[in-house]
């Protein structure tokens, strides 16, 4: 039993409920389109549930940006001073600046709380696509999902070249779509909303390369995961694109290129 099981089972219940709801509305229970909508529904429920943490993360990024100048001045003032009195004064002044700008020491911890949910969602989609029951996604539903098809390609299928050009087109199309959305999000929405002032040059270059590296990583990984997981990547990437666009347009980080654009 894994520590992620309670989360995976909760998400499985959402997926099963979405399938039951769509079926009640007249959708074909074995259709690939029905299961694509179920995967999208789970992604939507997770992202809506995580919105408070996403909003908190934006606020903390703004607080950090506003506090940056004061923290840099403080570090310059105490540079080279290692005596206990100076260290205590430095820590006290740093706490004062953090409190003034509402910068929380728990910011990173709260943001990292999202990771178990992402791992659980990834595991759920991967498991049911390969025929493993998870909670409310019992054997009958799992078989239905894994044998459902998109343009003739089973959701449980994996790899770029398995059964002809249709398979290659579907898998490549999903992989490229997820990679392209990820690239656009990071290159044109996340990067311009990031403050890189006084960041080492090597870190700046790494930051500039990240959109391409992430997109390439998705394309490579797509050859080893089920089609159902590719659909999850596309849905999740699309949500991230929309959410990042809202932040970039209306809530840019102070001092970032996006903020200067406004």
How does pLDDT run across 50-90, given as a tens digit for each residue? Answer: 999 999 999 999 999 999 989 989 989 999 888 898 999 99
Domain final position from 115, 147, 179: 147
The answer on 137 and 176 residing in a single domain is no
Burial of 80 (0-12, 13-18, 19+ CB in 10 A): exposed
pLDDT of 210 reads 93
Q: What is the mean pLDDT of residues 217-230?
A: 93
Task: Determine the pLDDT at residue 62.
Answer: 94
Distance from CA of residue 194 to its chain's centroid? 17
- Inter-residue contact 90 to 74 (CB < 8 Å): yes
Q: Is the pLDDT of residue 1 over 70?
A: no
| Cα–Cα nearest to 174, from 61, 73, 39 | 39
Instruction: Give the end of a domain, one of 147, 167, 183.
Output: 147
The domain boundary, picked from 118, 147, 176, lies at: 147
Q: Are residues 237 and 162 in the same domain?
A: yes
| Residue 242 structure tokens | 């929309």
* Distance separating alpha carbons of residues 78 and 75, to the nearest angstrom: 5
| 2 CB-near residues (< 8 Å, 6+ apart) | 8
Average pLDDT, the chain: 92
pLDDT, tens only, 110-122: 678 788 998 999 9
Helix (H, G, I), strand (E, B) or coil at 103: coil
Query: Are residues 143 and 55 located together in one domain of the fold?
Result: yes
CB-neighbour burial class of residue 201 (10 A; exposed 0-12, middle 13-18, buried 19+): exposed
Verify that 10 and 133 share a domain, yes or no: yes
d(Cα 115, Cα 129) in Å, to the nearest integer? 21
d(CA 1, CA 23): 31
Residues 112 and 215 in one domain: no
The region, left, alpha or beta by phi > 0 then psi within -120 to 50, assigned to residue 198 is left
Cα distances from 29 to residues 41, 74, 97, 251, in angstroms, run 15, 62, 57, 41
Residue 22 lies in domain: 1-147
35/13 same-domain check: yes
CA distances from 88 to 70, 71, 77, 104 (A): 17, 15, 14, 19
State the pLDDT confidence band at 10, using cuts at 50, 70 and 90. very high
pLDDT of residue 214: 93
What is the pTM (predicted TM-score) of this model? 0.91
Lowest mean pLDDT among 32-41, 101-110, 253-262: 101-110
> Do 143 and 157 fall within a single domain?
no
Report pLDDT digits (tens) over 148-160. Answer: 999 999 999 988 8
119 and 235 part of one domain: no
């Amino acid at each position: 039993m894994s520590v992620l099981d309670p989360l995976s089972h909760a998400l499985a219940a959402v997926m099963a409920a979405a399938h039951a709801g769509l079926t009640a509305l007249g959708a074909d229970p074995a259709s690939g389109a029905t299961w694509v909508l179920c995967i999208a529904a789970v992604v939507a429920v997770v992202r809506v549930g995580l919105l408070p943490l996403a909003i908190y993360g934006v606020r903390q990024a703004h607080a950090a940006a506003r506090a940056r100048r004061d923290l840099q001045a403080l570090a310059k003032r105490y540079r080279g001073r290692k005596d206990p009195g100076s260290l205590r004064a430095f820590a006290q002044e740093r706490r004062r600046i953090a409190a003034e700008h509402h910068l929380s020491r728990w910011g990173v911890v709260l943001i990292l709380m999202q990771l178990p949910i992402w791992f659980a969602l990834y595991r759920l989609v991967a498991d049911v696509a390969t025929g493993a029951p998870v909670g409310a996604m019992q054997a009958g539903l799992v078989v239905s999902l894994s044998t459902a098809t998109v343009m003739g390609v089973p959701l449980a299928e994996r790899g770029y070249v398995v059964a002809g050009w249709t398979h290659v087109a579907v898998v490549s199309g999903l992989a490229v779509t997820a990679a392209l959305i990820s690239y656009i999000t990071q290159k044109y929405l996340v990067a311009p909303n990031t403050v890189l002032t006084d960041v080492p040059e090597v870190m700046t270059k790494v930051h500039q390369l990240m959109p391409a590296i992430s997109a390439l990583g998705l394309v490579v990984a797509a050859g080893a995961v089920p089609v159902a997981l590719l659909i999850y990547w596309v849905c999740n990437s699309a949500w991230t694109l929309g959410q990042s666009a809202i932040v970039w347009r209306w809530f840019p980080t102070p001092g970032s290129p996006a903020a200067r654009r406004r």
